[in-house]
Structure 1
Amino acid sequence: MKKVWIDAGHGGKDPGAVGNGLQEKDIALTVSLGVKQRLEAEYEGVQVLLSRSTDVFLELDDRTSAANKAGADLLVSIHCNAGGGAGGFETFRYTNASAASRSLQNVLHTEIMAALKPFNVNDRGQKAANLHMCRESKMPAVLTENLFIDVAADAAKIKRQEVIDALIAGHVSGIAKYLGLKKKEGKTVAQERDINVVSSWAAPAWEAATKKGYFDGTRPGAPITREEAAVLIMRMENKK
């Protein structure tokens, strides 16, 4: 049984990067949970362990200590970026990384960029830095920076469910390739959306629209029919 440690960056009192109605901690957690669900559902002989599965704050030492104690075979720390510019996707290894970490980075970066290809995401490349999550992990470790929250074009992409799905799929494919995992026979799992749970990126807008009476607060993830759209338009007209 292979053990994969997925670290959702930031959390709790530490939101990470913030911009365009998004918080890094929310995106990191959404992708991390998706990676666990798909990897365990689609592949044999793998267990995915998480630094956090809810919106809680953890010190960096606590994250790497737990991963090391668990004897994980690899670690991926999931983040979003900030700092403006052209935006895009990039990965990091430790500056004095092992050959195994370099191999993990190469496979993971390649698979994620392949999944993001339909969305014209800028490839910022494979980089090295003195980052705690990569430095203090005893197993091959890579940190992924999944687009820029403070770049409008990237933020618009992050708000699309299909881009989140692509990020999840790329992480899953990269990890599976690196570990040589075997797919479960006859098992192609489509990621199902719980229509009763609002997406993290849409939560503020959904709450505001519900308070104004545009929606009744139920089924935030459900498709909208033309008749429902008509009701929404009339409600908005009546609010003027």
Structure 2
Amino acid sequence: MVRIVLDAGHGGKDSGAVGNGLREKDLTLDIVKKIGNLLAEYEGVEVHYTRTDDRFLELSERAEIANKLKADYFISVHINAGGGTGFESYIYNGNVSQAAIAYQNVIHSEITKAIGNVKDRGKKRANYAVLRLTNMPAILTENLFIDNANDAAKLKSDQFLQQIAYGHVVGLEKAFGLKKKAKPQPQPQQKTSDKKLYRVQVGAFSDRKNAERLVEELKQKGYPAFITD
């Protein structure tokens, strides 16, 4: 069993970064829920959240949740600000396990592949509280810049947020050797017309196989999806 804690950055009175009509706390919650939904398709994965609604939590509380659960991995999802562009990830800049470094290498790589033509700002280390206070390997991802108009345009796309989530999940799959469930979980039938149609553009991915895989993920969840070049 692999126990993963998903942490949506900010929340409640702390909106996080804001810009271009977006709030970081809303985007991070959306992304972690998408990650959790995708992880439900894997065997032996136990998913926990630090928050599932718009509430404020101290940084120490977030780490305490993971520590009490004796989680195997902690992911804190954020959106950047400050005038830059692109994606970057962080692990603690103090003593960390070789596993934490290895997991960052794999997960960072898969996210950059999934989100396509976006600047890779690199794998970094920092003294962030949620990385310092957690007892297990942990990563903090900064998924584009909310105050950059081009980045914000991507963040307003539900498909792009799905690609971010997908990158996190494929990274976890490879890092922990996760396997898909033999049979998908039964889902209530819905008319196709009730569901959002996903159009996956190959050009948004660095590798066509990643686009094809996302389409299959969406179809398995009952969403109509197709590829365009």
TM-score by length of 2: 0.79
Which secondary structure does the structure 2 equivalent of 1:93 belong to?
strand
- Give the whole-Å Cα distance in 2 for the aligned partners of 1:83 and 1:168: 23
1:127 to 106, 109, 124: 124
- Give the whole-Å Cα distance in 2 for the aligned partners of 1:133 and 1:195: 39
RMSD: 2.3
- Give the whole-Å Cα distance in 2 for the aligned partners of 1:187 and 1:196: 18
Which secondary structure does the structure 2 equivalent of 1:170 belong to?
helix
Q: 1:154 to 1:179 in 2, by over 3 A?
A: same
2:182 aligns to what? 185
1:89 aligns to what? 87
1:157 to 154, 162, 183: 154
2:35 aligns to what? 35
1:24 aligns to what? 24
AA at the equivalent of 2:71:
A
Q: 1:154 to 1:45 in 2, by over 3 A?
A: same
- Give the whole-Å Cα distance in 2 for the aligned partners of 1:93 and 1:194: 43
Q: 1:194 to 1:77 in 2, by over 3 A?
A: farther
AA at the equivalent of 1:182:
K
- Give the whole-Å Cα distance in 1 for the aligned partners of 2:138 and 2:18: 25
2:172 aligns to what? 175
Q: 1:195 to 1:21 in 2, by over 3 A?
A: farther
- Give the whole-Å Cα distance in 2 for the aligned partners of 1:99 and 1:188: 35
1:238 aligns to what? none
CA offset at residue 185 of structure 1? 2.0
Q: Which moved more, 1:96-105 or 1:131-140?
A: 96-105
2:113 aligns to what? 114
2:217 aligns to what? none
Q: 1:16 to 1:195 in 2, by over 3 A?
A: farther
Q: How does 1:1-240 map to 2 (within 5 A)?
A: 1-40=1-40, 42-85=41-84, 87-96=85-94, 97-117=96-116, 120-187=117-184
1:19-41 per-residue CA deviation (whole Å, 9 max, x = no partner) reads: 0000000000000111111101x
1:73-105 per-residue CA deviation (whole Å, 9 max, x = no partner) reads: 0000000000003x0000000012221111111
Query: Greater CA radius of gyration, 1 or 2?
Result: 1
- Give the whole-Å Cα distance in 2 for the aligned partners of 1:155 and 1:72: 32
Q: Post-superposition, which runs of at least 4 consecutive aligned residues in structure 1 deviate over 6 A?
A: 192-197
CA offset at residue 195 of structure 1? 6.4
1:126-161 per-residue CA deviation (whole Å, 9 max, x = no partner) reads: 000111111111100000001000000000010111
AA at the equivalent of 2:30:
T
Which secondary structure does the structure 1 equivalent of 2:3 belong to?
strand
AA at the equivalent of 2:38:
R
- Give the whole-Å Cα distance in 1 for the aligned partners of 2:53 and 2:173: 24
Whichever structure has more strand as a proportion of its residues is: 2
1:202 aligns to what? none
Aligned length: 192
Q: 1:55 to 1:194 in 2, by over 3 A?
A: farther
- Give the whole-Å Cα distance in 2 for the aligned partners of 1:184 and 1:196: 24
- Give the whole-Å Cα distance in 1 for the aligned partners of 2:159 and 2:39: 18
